[in-house]
Amino acid sequence: MTRKLHIKTYGCQMNVYDSARMADVLAPLGYVAAETADDADMVILNTCHIREKAAEKVFSELGRLRALQNRKARRGGRMILAVAGCVAQAEGAEILARAPHVDIVLGPQTYHRLPEMVAAATRAAGGVLDTEFPAEAKFDFLPEASATRSAAALLTIQEGCDKFCTFCVVPYTRGAEFSRPAADVIAEARRLIGHGAREITLLGQNVNAYHGAAPDGGDWGLAQLIRALADLPGLERIRYMTSHPRDMDAALIAVHRDVAALMPLLHLPVQSGSDRMLAAMNRGHTVADYRRTVEALRQARADLAFSSDFIVGYPGESEADFQATLDLMQGVGFAQAYSFKYSPRPGTPAASEPDQVPEPIKSERLARLQELLQSQQRAFNLSLVGSVQRVLLERPGRHPGQLAGRSPFLQPVHAWLDAGLVGAIVPLRIVGVEPNSLAGEALVEAAERISA
């Protein structure tokens, strides 16, 4: 008997990966992915708690789902409703109290127990709550990734974080840092490649702190893991995110020099360009340290481009601190970046700081920062016009006859190409810059146009 499973994913790539794993765990029970929640037999909200009123968004979505759940019940069916992810971890009991129509609340460390929870929820009235940090690692209990056919695949190699940046909930919701054994990572990579992956992005909340058990005893850092993965036949591209500047060691920098498959865009969050703010945030490095790291990476690989995360309006941030962030941004030059207004997260040290920055100032700073960012991003995109970029074609484009993919720098690129090329890496001439993507052209077409 097949049942319809709808999973709605919020937040980071690690949640995207986890959602796929939850679908894998439920597949043996007959659950098959459904595009919408309408008429689904099970709906999972895989939530994110990193910023903003995440919990409120979840409650309003749960309200909407109750109507669908009731409709299904009136027709004699049942819709099991589960809340997973970091909001579940942080507010588990409160969710069951406020939304009694929720059947299951589970934290990110207990996905492998989903089948039991579904069974319990089916039997029982009242919700099932499992937000433990169990002694067993969930990765040992998850079935082998079913590897939905995708040319660009995600692979979680590390979870949790021990850094305790003062603004961040991750150390509380995802728990202590944990690295998967290298042999498990390599086995999963082989399976993904066998299912057509040409690119793998290694994921972790603090991925460059990776230190997994090595196949031959001892530990491997991320550098050694990447070198081993680069030897796998068929794997052409490797990426990793998200990194902490403090864990960017010499061995990892050298990998950017030596491993051509490692793509030339590095996401290296800095958060602020003010030493005072970096210290208050417990980031453990200075602006000069960050700049030195960027410099060393550029020495290692000249075409390396940078991406980052920025927070504006952290408690106590002055106009001068903010200006220092703009200066850092000017100095480094980013190909892209994510920027956020500081959002107090319950239970984190920064949330109880007395000198919170007023909302209008945060908004104004964010707008100024994003203006500079956009101009840098646009300049970077324009600098590629006329160049040839190898594009991994991942899917059909927005218009019939188009394909869409990613450049080495992770920019979306679209081009008029034969649908048979999905999954291939094709050199394309970059011929235009659009707000959210680049336009590419097959080299023969470009050559014909020039000679005509």
Which one, 232 or 326, has the nearer CB to ligand 5AD?
326
Per-residue x/- track, 242-281, ligand 5AD (CB under 6 A): ---------------------------x-x----------
Which one, 68 or 265, has the nearer CB to ligand 5AD?
265
Single out the segment in contact with ligand 5AD by CB under 6 A; choices: 37-45, 192-200, 335-343, 422-430: 335-343
Of residues 13, 146, 286, 343, which one binds ligand 5AD by CB under 6 A? 343
Nearest-approach distance from CB 85 to ligand SF4, in angstroms: 15
Of residues 45, 105, 161, 266, which one binds ligand SF4 by CB under 6 A? 161
Verify binding: residue 227, ligand SF4, rule CB under 6 A: no
Which one, 8 or 51, has the nearer CB to ligand 5AD?
51
Verify binding: residue 157, ligand SF4, rule CB under 6 A: no
Verify binding: residue 168, ligand 5AD, rule CB under 6 A: yes
Strand partners, 438: 413, 433
| 315 to 281, 310, 441: CA distances (angstroms) | 9, 14, 48
Single out the segment in contact with ligand 5AD by CB under 6 A; choices: 22-30, 230-238, 288-296, 338-346: 338-346
Strand segments (E) across 125-177: 128-130, 152-156, 158-159
* Antiparallel, parallel or unpaired: β 158-159 and 178-179: antiparallel
The span from the CA of 269 to the CA of 337, in Å, is 9
Of residues 237, 244, 345, 429, which one binds ligand SF4 by CB under 6 A? 244
Phi, then psi, of 244 in degrees rounded to 5: -105, 135
Of residues 110, 158, 206, 381, which one binds ligand SF4 by CB under 6 A? 206
By rule CB under 6 A, what count of residues binds ligand 5AD?
Answer: 12
Nearest-approach distance from CB 192 to ligand 5AD, in angstroms: 24
Instruction: Reduce the DSSP state of residue 81 to 3 states and report it.
Output: strand
Q: Which of 58, 49, 131, 48 is nearest to 346 (CA)?
A: 49
Which one, 68 or 311, has the nearer CB to ligand 5AD?
311
Verify binding: residue 111, ligand 5AD, rule CB under 6 A: no
Verify binding: residue 208, ligand 5AD, rule CB under 6 A: no
Q: Are 326 and 369 within 8 A, CB to CB?
A: yes
Phi, then psi, of 435 in degrees rounded to 5: -55, -40
Interaction partner, residue 121 (ligand SF4, ligand 5AD, none; CB < 5-8 Å by kind): none
The span from the CA of 274 to the CA of 26, in Å, is 47
Q: Which of 153, 80, 95, 168 is nearest to 129 (CA)?
A: 95
Of residues 39, 289, 309, 445, which one binds ligand 5AD by CB under 6 A? 309
Verify binding: residue 207, ligand SF4, rule CB under 6 A: no
By rule CB under 6 A, what count of residues binds ligand SF4?
Answer: 10
Interaction partner, residue 138 (ligand SF4, ligand 5AD, none; CB < 5-8 Å by kind): none
- What is residue 261's DSSP assignment? T
Quick one: 257 exposed, middle or buried, by C-beta within 10 A (0-12, 13-18, 19+)? middle
Interaction partner, residue 362 (ligand SF4, ligand 5AD, none; CB < 5-8 Å by kind): none
| 426 to 61, 132, 308, 444: CA distances (angstroms) | 41, 46, 28, 12
Q: Count CA atoms within 13 Å of residue 409 on its CB side.
A: 23
Which one, 184 or 289, has the nearer CB to ligand 5AD?
289
The span from the CA of 159 to the CA of 210, in Å, is 9
The residues of the shown chain that bind ligand SF4, judged by CB under 6 A, are: 161, 163-165, 168, 170-171, 205-206, 244
